[in-house]
Amino acid sequence: MKSGYVALIGRPNVGKSTLLNHLVGQKISITSRRPQTTRHRILGIKTTEAGQAIYVDTPGLHGNQKRAMNRYMNRTAKTALVGVDIVLWVTDRVTWHHYDEIILQLLEKIQIPVILVINKIDSLQDKTAMLPFLKDADQRFPFSGIVPVSALLGDKLDDLESNIMELLPDGGMFYPEDQITDKPERFLAAEIVREKLTRRLAKELPYQMSVEIERFDEEKSLVKINALIWVERDTQKSIVIGKKGCVLKAVGQQAREDLEGLLGKKVYLELWVKVKKGWSDSEKALKNLGYE
């Protein structure tokens, strides 16, 4: 059998979380049209007869940005590569970006097999447009594979998976075969609430919120969840609540539906909005909220 760790790296918004969800076959990592959605390192586990691939969804790699949240993400992106067996470098364009040079420098240092995944080929009208890029990529770096895919449509993911299996080292399973993630359900609950908020308030609230699960009580046929939504300012609080509570109500309803699907039980979800001033600037506040 083969087994090992596979890290997904790449610019924000190229489709890493979408790819992870489709590879594992279940919604594990939240996705959105807005960059920086993924803040945590998340494992998705896929076990087949051929072996076990454990996927690590890293936060996006960023340039030099000052805020604490960005420092946190940069750190995670680097530490997430330690001990992995394969790197999937996901891109969604067929031209080079100055940002790619930074990634190439990083990849040269780590000496781990790298598969270049060109995502979103469904939106490429003329497929021959990627040919010069494929040739150029091959010359720039000794990739262990270059695979064009559509994560969203699940197109060519078989090719990608067999490429991954070939590269994984021989070894036994790290996790039981029916386990698909290492994250407790409590964490997934916070991620789902945050996803609904992010989708709804993309324009109004740039990155300044966080969700903390205050209570997660599983009963026989019901799960009671209380979630705190932390924002930085009173004005943001009223945006999250909405007119007559309409935003919070819609977010709560959507999150509850997803949670009921995930947990297979009825969910009673209560949302509270609280103000914590300047939390995204302070490392200490980040730690308090569980971003370590």
Residues at the interface with Mg ion (CB under 5 A): 16-17, 37-38
Beta carbon nearer to ligand GDP, 89 or 230: 89
- Could you report how far apart the first and last alpha carbons of the chain are, in Å? 34
Q: Minimum Å distance from CB 173 to ligand GDP?
A: 26
Interface with ligand GDP (CB under 6 A), residue from 5, 6, 9, 16: 16
198 lies in the site for ligand GDP, by CB under 6 A: no
Q: Does 152 bind ligand GDP (CB under 6 A)?
A: yes
Residue 77 binds which entry of ligand GDP, Mg ion, none, CB below 5-8 Å type-dependent: none
Smallest separation, CB 50 to Mg ion (Å): 26
| Of positions 7, 9, 14, 228, contacts ligand GDP by CB under 6 A | 14
Tell which one of 58, 70, 119, 210 touches ligand GDP (CB under 6 A).
119
What is the closest distance, in whole angstroms, from the C-beta atom of residue 155 to ligand GDP in the complex?
A: 8
* Nearer CB in complex with Mg ion: 14/267: 14
Q: From CA 201, how far away is CA 196, in angstroms rounded?
A: 9
Q: How many residues does the chain have?
A: 292
Could you say whether residue 76 binds ligand GDP (CB under 6 A)? no
Angstrom distance (rounded) from CA 77 to CA 75? 5
Q: Does 154 bind ligand GDP (CB under 6 A)?
A: no
**Which CB, 12 or 252, lies closer to ligand GDP?**
12
Confirm or reject binding of residue 38 to ligand GDP (CB under 6 A): yes
To ligand GDP, the closest distance from the beta carbon of 221 in angstroms equals 33
Tell me the two tokens of residue 147: 């695979």
Residue ranges binding ligand GDP (CB under 6 A): 10, 12-18, 31-33, 35, 37-38, 60, 119-120, 122-123, 150-152
